[in-house]
Amino acid sequence: MATTQKRPPIIAVVGHIDHGKSTLQHALRKADAALSEAGDITQHIGAYELHAQYEGAERRATIIDTPGHEAFSMVREHGLDLADIALLVVSSEEGWKEQTAEAYATIQEKQLPHIIVFTMLDKPQANIERAKQTVLQHGVLLEGLGGSVPWIGVSSITGEGISDLIELIFLTTDVYEIIEDRQDGSVGILVEAVVDPKIGITGTVIVLQGTLEQSKYIRVGATIAPLRIMKDDRGNTVLDAKPSMPIQVAGFDAVPPVGHPVFLCATKKEALETAEAQQSSGGPNRVADSSKQIVIPLVLRSDTASGLSSIQQAIAAVASDGVQFTVIKSSVGDITEEDVRLALAEDGGQVLGFHTNADQRAKQLAERSGIALHLFPTIYEVTQWATTLSKQKREGYEVQNPTGAAAIIRIFEEQSSQRISIVGAQIQHGSFAVEQHIAVLRNKEVVGRFIVESIEQRNKSQETVSGEKAQFAMRIRGDGAVKVGDTVLALPTAATP
């Protein structure tokens, strides 16, 4: 039966990329009364506790790290699902931006109490009044300006406003009753998972109800872990973890799913039985529509489980017509020899690592086999790689599977400034149509890509033309120079960019 005990708040810091979320969190840690005595030894486990004096008493709040880049929206939503209060960060230089709007929409959807934090007051171009106006223009009515949404201006560099922000956090906490109230029987949420080379698979749990005590077990999805080694965000051993506390648990039997509820089990037998009941059927993870004809098999590795979620989301976002990415394996940790073998067994298999490396045997096998190991430190680079690969695969498919081919037999006109050519051609096979994309081949190499703007045959406009050895003229627009003797390929409609 659920309790109604009050607990400390869980705070999500959200907003646009480069608006100062990380520096704000660092400033809050610097202001932590406990850390000022013990030193900043935070273990970077995805969440940390803030200790502060408020109205004569020591108070606690847990702050979760929620990345701002659009590719991390899945991770961000997990954070907001968990949070009691959101700090929506808005740069005093730039004001409201696209990811500010995305974060605010999620805050509204989840009906989450929130504080607008105007950052970077120390910057030369800072203008908090202008930034406020951009917020008001998007329907966020601030206190003192016709609404009730609390706000504050801060500089994470100079410390201006940080102590006032901490007071505002606890004032907001007291206004909204925050209690232990898990209706599904769970005791918390898993917010991060990593593979530690020394202690194995670890997960960061934020306790939401009850107390986690040593000698028991927890289950997350179909994974389990004993509560033998529990550490707080400062690396201290914890014997019992209380509500809202972030702890790192070691000893998971597999990488647990981020964002999933944590269930407490009295014995290992109970944990194993409930985990077995949760065991999924497994199988490859499709991150694009299975109806698409080009398949790119992927083996993914990341340093964290949330990183895996983010790169899969980034890759799915760049999926285009004619291309399907299929994840045949995704794991936390370094790239292994087995990962390379899996990719080699698939036609066109790719190995991608995010914030991770490859072990020596994997590197040696990759070098012998001629397969590249794609290692990236940022989501932007993952997105660029996936976009380029998708384009290359699609274009390769188009050229190998044309719906028509013709030889260029005459150049009537070229308007290079407008990227337009009017050419005469003779069909070798298939057909051509207006608005169809075409590729121009010279010595079996693609030298240009165009779109057909119009077709004429026997001085009459046509929508399509077909028939072996049939001659026609077409007006084409695109990049590249066309010469007599070139081959023109009509590209498949389904694969058109």
Confidence of residue 80 (pLDDT cuts 50, 70, 90): low
In this predicted structure, the answer to whether residue 252 has a pLDDT above a threshold of 50 is yes
Q: Is residue 302 a contact partner of residue 194, using CB atoms and an 8 Å limit?
A: no
Taking residues 337-344, report their average pLDDT.
Answer: 90
Query: What's the pLDDT score for residue 293?
Result: 65
CATH of domain 10-175: 3.40.50.300
Q: In terms of pLDDT, which residue wins out, 271 or 199?
A: 271
For 52, residues 6+ apart whose C-beta sits below 8 A from its C-beta are: 31, 32, 33, 58, 59, 61, 166, 170
pLDDT digits (tens, 9 = 90+) for 103-119: 898 888 888 899 999 99
Average pLDDT, the chain: 84
Using DSSP's 3-state secondary structure scheme, residue 181 falls into coil
In this predicted structure, the answer to whether residue 210 has a pLDDT above a threshold of 90 is no
Most confident region among 158-162, 283-287, 302-306, 346-350 by mean pLDDT: 158-162
pLDDT digits (tens, 9 = 90+) for 224-251: 999 998 998 888 999 989 999 999 999 9
Q: What's the CA gap between 156 and 160, in Å, rounded? A: 7
Tell me the one-letter amino acid at 101: A
Confidence of residue 73 (pLDDT cuts 50, 70, 90): low
Query: What's the pLDDT score for residue 290?
Result: 41
In this predicted structure, the answer to whether residue 368 has a pLDDT above a threshold of 70 is yes
**End-to-end CA distance of the chain, in Å?**
56
CATH of domain 285-399: 3.40.50.10050
pLDDT digits (tens, 9 = 90+) for 125-153: 999 999 999 999 999 999 999 899 999 99
Taking residues 74-81, report their average pLDDT.
Answer: 60
Taking residues 205-218, report their average pLDDT.
Answer: 90
pLDDT digits (tens, 9 = 90+) for 257-306: 877 889 999 999 999 988 888 765 344 444 444 444 688 899 999 988 88
Tell which CATH architecture fits domain 188-278. Answer: Beta Barrel (2.40)
In this predicted structure, the answer to whether residue 358 has a pLDDT above a threshold of 90 is yes
DSSP 8-state symbol, 51: E
Taking residues 46-61, report their average pLDDT.
Answer: 87
Query: What's the pLDDT score for residue 299?
Result: 94
The residue ranges of every structural domain in the chain are 10-175, 188-278, 285-399, 402-495
pLDDT digits (tens, 9 = 90+) for 387-443: 888 888 877 777 878 889 999 999 998 887 778 899 999 999 999 999 999 999 988
Q: Is residue 80 a contact partner of residue 86, using CB atoms and an 8 Å limit?
A: yes
Query: What's the pLDDT score for residue 320?
Result: 65
Q: In terms of pLDDT, which residue wins out, 129 or 40?
A: 129
In this predicted structure, the answer to whether residue 198 has a pLDDT above a threshold of 70 is yes
Q: What percent of the chain has pLDDT over 70?
A: 88
pLDDT digits (tens, 9 = 90+) for 432-472: 999 999 999 988 888 888 999 999 998 899 999 999 899 99
Q: What's the CA gap between 183 and 89, in Å, rounded? A: 31
For 76, residues 6+ apart whose C-beta sits below 8 A from its C-beta are: 12, 14, 66, 67, 68, 103, 106
And the tokens for 200? 């194995």
Tally of helices (H runs) and strands (E runs) in the chain: 11, 28
Query: What's the pLDDT score for residue 120?
Result: 94
* CATH 2.40.30.10 for domain 402-495: yes
Most confident region among 156-160, 177-181, 210-214 by mean pLDDT: 156-160
In this predicted structure, the answer to whether residue 486 has a pLDDT above a threshold of 70 is yes
Instruction: Tell me whether domains 188-278 and 285-399 share a fold.
Output: no
In this predicted structure, the answer to whether residue 489 has a pLDDT above a threshold of 90 is yes
